[in-house]
Amino acid sequence: MKKVLLFFSVLAIVASSCQSNSYEDLALSQIAIVPQPQSIETTENGTMVISSGLTIVAVKEEELKIANYLKDYFAEINWTVKVKEDAPSSNFISIQQKSIGSDNIEAYVLSISQKGIQIEAANGKGLFYAVQSLIQMLPLDGEAVKLPVMKIKDEPRFAYRGMHLDVARHFFPVEFVKKYLDMMAFYKMNNFHWHLTEDQGWRIEIKKYPKLTEVGSVRKETMVEKNFNPYVGDGIPHGGFYTQEEVKEIVAYAMERQINVIPEIEMPGHSLAALAAYPELGCTPGPFEVGTIWGVNKNIYCPSEETFTFLENVLSEVVELFPGQYIHIGGDEAPKDRWKESAVAQAVIKREGLKDEFELQSYFIRRIEKFLISKGKKLIGWDEILEGGLAPEATVMSWRGEAGGIEAAEQGHDVIMTPNSVAYFDHYQAGPEGEPLAIGGFTTLQDVYDYEPIPEELSKENQKHVLGAQANVWTEYMKTTDYVEYMVFPRMLALSETVWSQPEVKDWARFQEKLNWQMQLLDARNVNYHKSN
Ligand code: ACM
């Protein structure tokens, strides 16, 4: 960890302001936790000192897990820590799994008295989030710190708080995915949507179909900037994939951080890399090449029995690797040209009594949903899966604005809001002059902060179908991990308040002030970010 002087910590200001009459106001306004907790009470004046040599009190299994996580954290700032069953008279963090009178399974209470710190939650999730709040208040330089006496009671507004990462347009190593998960956890985000397959690369090992990675994980080159026409390629092969062992490692790492991983296996479109490996899955003979150009490709899976067998075999391996309930099957941007021309596709339309190719896509997705349900999983798809009729239990990710989400919620389906107007972190956040090349769009930090995931149009009854929101990080133009971080931060911090904090406690001006401290935390974690917001 990079050293940052405690002088700059807003907490130092809080601590030194204890003598002043305005202590409570300062304490409330200057604690720089993101996302903003539900309530912060300063019940009495005073401070506690926490320093190296502290004791962590933990007994139960969940408590010990959190104690070990904290111990690893303190090792990074060179603090020594003892884990014990009983609290000493000072300098301790007591972790207690117990009922705290909230129905929210992610709720926690963090109390700081003059003697020590008490963390309470009904389960490991709440305990974990209490720790995230705590470590956002701790020094970065290994020095002792004074914390104000206070009580934080907190719980999230939304159960689904997502970040997506496209590792197909550009491949990113396991270590970076772990760093991304660390940062998600730090801001209490709890669903990682891992976009694993695309026209331009297949990134997950499937044992039954080795060519998916042998052939499908490498493209011969990448289009230079936006040179679509005339096309200019860079001549540099790009590839990479995650072995199943690596996938397991990432899923376990995420679980330790209370993050569920949702794999996305795209179908029927965005499947050119799979067709390059197994051309018999297309409606035309091919040959196909792993994509080198961005956009939407007309070559998609043909709805043949061979394709369904293939996809079911792929998904059978995928469901074993991901313990969460959701599997994302894409469903977006699937042009129907090939199906219109294909005798195989037309025969399915006729056999199933379907009206057109949109109903054929619906048939495709319903079939896959049935299969996933038989495996105990739930299907998520982009909002195109509404076209031709929604699969009976599908959850919809609304990306082309909110209309798809509203329609799905009105049909009684669960919805995750990820509208491209505010939740696409591949859009410019400033400039565009002076900014690195982005796909387009313009989404400022404040746009993300001000986003309200529940559309006004929805009735009270249907509002409950909005599980939360997610930002998408499509990486066509993000060639490096530094660039991904630059596009994600600090916008992810804004999103975290949008999905965690109740509207009454959100405050744009305070959020901007908190960024001064948060940027030091990002520096300490070697995270690149956009600075001029
Ligand atoms: C998407 O951005 N095509 C979901």
Average pLDDT over residues 399-413: 98
Residue whose Cα lies nearest atom 2 of ligand 1: it is 399
Spatial distance between the Cα atoms of 351 and 337, rounded to a whole number of angstroms = 20
Which atom from ligand 1 is nearest to the alpha carbon of 399? Answer: 4
Q: What residue type is assigned to position 286 of the chain? A: G
Residue carrying structure tokens 């601590």: 15
Q: What is the pLDDT of residue 401?
A: 97
Nearest 10 degrees: Cα torsion 302, 240, 190, 454? -50
Spatial distance between the Cα atoms of 347 and 426, rounded to a whole number of angstroms = 40
pLDDT at residue 22 above 70? no
Give the SS3 label for residue 343.
Answer: helix
Chain centroid offset of residue 377 CA: 19
Residue 53 class from Cβ within 10 Å (0-12 exposed, 13-18 middle, 19+ buried)?
exposed
Spatial distance between the Cα atoms of 530 and 300, rounded to a whole number of angstroms = 37
Structure tokens at 99: 């009922």
Which atom from ligand 1 is nearest to the alpha carbon of 420? Answer: 2
Q: Provide Rg for the chain, Cα atoms.
A: 25
E strands, 122-184, are 145-148, 150-154, 160-166
Handedness of CA 226, 229, 230, 234 (dihedral sign): positive
pLDDT at residue 469 above 60? yes
Residue whose Cα lies nearest atom 3 of ligand 1: it is 332
Question: In the chain, which residues fall in CATH 3.20.20.80?
Answer: 160-501
Q: Which CATH code for domain 2-154?
A: 3.30.379.10
Spatial distance between the Cα atoms of 108 and 99, rounded to a whole number of angstroms = 10
* pLDDT, tens digit, 9 for 90 and up, residues 119-138: 999 999 999 999 999 999 98
* pLDDT, tens digit, 9 for 90 and up, residues 319-369: 999 999 999 999 999 999 999 999 999 999 999 999 999 999 999 999 999
Q: What is the pLDDT of residue 44?
A: 73
Give the SS3 label for residue 7.
Answer: helix
Q: What is the pLDDT of residue 43?
A: 73
Spatial distance between the Cα atoms of 92 and 58, rounded to a whole number of angstroms = 11
Q: What percent of the chain has pLDDT over 70?
A: 94
**CB under 6 Å to ligand 1: residues?**
332-333, 382, 399
Distance 146 CA to ligand 1 centre (A): 47
Instruction: Name the pairing type of β-strands 39-41 and 150-154.
Output: antiparallel
Distance 172 CA to ligand 1 centre (A): 19
pLDDT at residue 1 above 90? no
Q: What is the pLDDT of residue 3?
A: 34
Q: What percent of the chain has pLDDT over 90?
A: 90
Those residues whose C-beta lies under 8 Å from the C-beta of residue 365, and which sit 6 or more positions away, are 329, 331, 379, 381, 385, 391, 394
Structure tokens at 196: 């694993």
Angle at 240 between CA 234 and CA 241, to 5 degrees: 150
Question: In the chain, which residues fall in CATH 3.30.379.10?
Answer: 2-154
Average pLDDT over residues 269-274: 98
Distance 85 CA to ligand 1 centre (A): 50
Q: Quick check: 345 and 335 in contact, CB under 8 A?
A: no
pLDDT at residue 454 above 60? yes
* pLDDT, tens digit, 9 for 90 and up, residues 279-303: 999 999 999 999 999 999 999 999 9
Average pLDDT over residues 147-175: 97
Spatial distance between the Cα atoms of 159 and 268, rounded to a whole number of angstroms = 29
Which atom from ligand 1 is nearest to the alpha carbon of 472? Answer: 2
Q: What is the pLDDT of residue 142?
A: 80
In 375-504, alpha helices (H): 403-410, 445-450, 460-463, 481-488, 491-500
* pLDDT, tens digit, 9 for 90 and up, residues 367-401: 999 999 999 999 999 999 999 999 999 999 999 99
Average pLDDT over residues 503-507: 97
Structure tokens at 323: 């313990």
Instruction: Tell me the pLDDT band of 10, cut-offs 50, 70 and 90.
Output: very low
Residue carrying structure tokens 């995931």: 453
Structure tokens at 455: 């559309």
- What is the SS3 assignment for 80-106? CEEEECCCCCCCEEEEEECCCCCCCCC
The CA-based diameter of the chain, rounded to the nearest angstrom, is 81
Which atom from ligand 1 is nearest to the alpha carbon of 418? Answer: 4
Distance 371 CA to ligand 1 centre (A): 24
Fold entry, domain 160-501? TIM Barrel (3.20.20)
* pLDDT, tens digit, 9 for 90 and up, residues 395-404: 999 999 999 9
Question: Ligand 1 test: best mutation among 270, 397, 399, 476, most atoms within 8 Å of CB?
Answer: 399
Spatial distance between the Cα atoms of 23 and 21, rounded to a whole number of angstroms = 5
Instruction: Tell me the pLDDT band of 406, cut-offs 50, 70 and 90.
Output: very high
Handedness of CA 280, 282, 286, 288 (dihedral sign): negative
Average pLDDT over residues 146-167: 96
Instruction: Tell me the pLDDT band of 30, cut-offs 50, 70 and 90.
Output: low
Q: Quick check: 274 and 299 in contact, CB under 8 A?
A: no
Structure tokens at 133: 């709040």
Q: How much is the mean pLDDT over the chain? A: 93
Structure tokens at 13: 């200001």
Structure tokens at 464: 């409950």
pLDDT at residue 436 above 90? yes
Q: Quick check: 265 and 331 in contact, CB under 8 A?
A: no
Which atom from ligand 1 is nearest to the alpha carbon of 330? Answer: 4
Phi/psi for 31 (5° steps) reads -75, 125
Those residues whose C-beta lies under 8 Å from the C-beta of residue 497, and which sit 6 or more positions away, are 34, 35, 36, 449, 506, 511
Q: Quick check: 42 and 143 in contact, CB under 8 A?
A: no
